[in-house]
Amino acid sequence: MLHPKLESEHQWKFFSFHPRESFIAAIAVATEESAEGISLHLNSFDEVVAEHA
């Protein structure tokens, strides 16, 4: 589920950010009609490695 603020936007096409060092940047592409079902997560590199180890 997207952040409530993003879900309330009239329409958005592209959302990206570059978090501080050791975090993985997250990118989501969506439109108002297809926003449901898209997840956006920000995990530290260590968390991602541990999850897939």
Give the burial string for 35-48 (b: 16+ CB within 10 Å, else e): beeeeeeeeeeeee
Number of neighbouring beta carbons within 10 Å of residue 11: 9
pLDDT at residue 46, rounded to an integer = 74
Confirm if 25 and 17 have CB atoms less than 8 A apart: yes
User: Which among 48, 52, 49, 42 has a CA at the least distance from the CA of 19?
Assistant: 42
Amino acid at 41: H
Of residues 14 and 49, more confidence is placed in 49
Question: What is the extent of the structural domain holding 34?
Answer: 4-51
Total domains in the chain come to 1
pLDDT at residue 49, rounded to an integer = 72
Task: Judge whether residue 42 has pLDDT over 60.
Answer: yes
If you average pLDDT over every residue of the chain, what do you get? 55
Task: Judge whether residue 13 has pLDDT over 60.
Answer: no
User: Would you state the structure tokens that stand for residue 12, as one six-digit string?
Assistant: 């958005």
